[in-house]
Amino acid sequence: MSVSLDTDKISWQSAIADDGLTWPNQYCDFKKYASAPALQFKVSTLPQIMILNTNGEVVYTAQNAHDLEAQLQALLKS
Protein backbone atom coordinates (compact mmCIF):
# COMPACT_ATOMS: atom_id res chain seq x y z
CA MET A 1 0.00 0.00 0.00
CA SER A 2 1.17 3.51 -0.73
CA VAL A 3 0.11 6.59 1.17
CA SER A 4 0.88 9.94 -0.40
CA LEU A 5 1.07 13.26 1.38
CA ASP A 6 0.46 15.26 -1.76
CA THR A 7 -1.91 18.21 -1.72
CA ASP A 8 -2.81 18.18 -5.41
CA LYS A 9 -4.65 15.33 -7.17
CA ILE A 10 -3.01 15.85 -10.56
CA SER A 11 0.50 15.88 -9.05
CA TRP A 12 -0.30 12.73 -7.07
CA GLN A 13 -1.61 10.87 -10.11
CA SER A 14 1.39 12.01 -12.18
CA ALA A 15 3.80 10.74 -9.52
CA ILE A 16 2.09 7.34 -9.50
CA ALA A 17 2.52 7.10 -13.27
CA ASP A 18 6.06 8.53 -13.33
CA ASP A 19 7.26 6.22 -10.53
CA GLY A 20 5.60 3.15 -12.07
CA LEU A 21 3.59 2.33 -8.95
CA THR A 22 1.45 -0.50 -10.22
CA TRP A 23 -0.04 -1.97 -7.06
CA PRO A 24 -3.76 -1.38 -6.53
CA ASN A 25 -3.76 0.27 -3.10
CA GLN A 26 -2.86 3.95 -3.52
CA TYR A 27 -4.20 6.40 -0.92
CA CYS A 28 -4.13 10.17 -0.62
CA ASP A 29 -6.51 12.49 1.23
CA PHE A 30 -4.58 15.64 0.18
CA LYS A 31 -4.00 16.78 3.77
CA LYS A 32 -0.19 16.41 3.72
CA TYR A 33 1.15 15.88 7.28
CA ALA A 34 -2.37 16.30 8.72
CA SER A 35 -3.38 13.10 6.89
CA ALA A 36 -4.75 10.40 9.19
CA PRO A 37 -2.04 7.83 8.28
CA ALA A 38 0.73 10.44 8.74
CA LEU A 39 -0.60 11.31 12.17
CA GLN A 40 -1.23 7.70 13.18
CA PHE A 41 2.28 6.56 12.26
CA LYS A 42 4.01 9.83 13.25
CA VAL A 43 5.47 10.49 9.81
CA SER A 44 7.83 13.45 9.93
CA THR A 45 10.09 12.88 6.91
CA LEU A 46 9.59 11.63 3.38
CA PRO A 47 9.95 9.09 2.05
CA GLN A 48 8.96 6.92 5.00
CA ILE A 49 8.81 3.20 4.33
CA MET A 50 7.29 0.94 6.99
CA ILE A 51 6.75 -2.74 7.59
CA LEU A 52 3.69 -3.45 9.70
CA ASN A 53 2.84 -6.72 11.39
CA THR A 54 -0.59 -8.36 11.26
CA ASN A 55 -1.67 -6.22 14.24
CA GLY A 56 -0.90 -3.01 12.33
CA GLU A 57 2.15 -2.26 14.47
CA VAL A 58 5.27 -0.81 12.87
CA VAL A 59 8.08 -3.35 13.10
CA TYR A 60 10.58 -1.57 10.84
CA THR A 61 11.05 1.79 9.14
CA ALA A 62 13.39 2.68 6.29
CA GLN A 63 14.28 5.76 4.31
CA ASN A 64 14.96 3.92 1.06
CA ALA A 65 14.00 0.77 -0.83
CA HIS A 66 17.47 -0.82 -0.49
CA ASP A 67 17.25 -0.85 3.32
CA LEU A 68 13.69 -2.12 3.11
CA GLU A 69 14.65 -5.03 0.87
CA ALA A 70 17.46 -6.11 3.20
CA GLN A 71 15.12 -6.02 6.21
CA LEU A 72 12.40 -7.96 4.38
CA GLN A 73 14.92 -10.67 3.52
CA ALA A 74 16.00 -10.87 7.16
CA LEU A 75 12.40 -11.06 8.39
CA LEU A 76 11.55 -13.77 5.87
CA LYS A 77 14.50 -15.88 7.07
CA SER A 78 13.45 -15.68 10.73
| pLDDT computed for residue 27 by the predictor | 95
Q: Are the CB atoms for 1 and 25 separated by under 8 Å? A: yes
Q: Would you say the pTM of this structure is higher than 0.85?
A: no
Q: Are the CB atoms for 32 and 7 separated by under 8 Å? A: yes
Per-residue burial over 13-36, b = 16 or more CB atoms within 10 Å of its CB, e = otherwise: eebbeeeeeeeeeeebeeeeeebe
Q: What is the pLDDT along the chain (78 residues), one digit of tens a residue?
A: 889 999 999 999 999 999 898 989 999 999 999 999 999 999 988 888 888 888 989 988 887 777 888 888 888 887
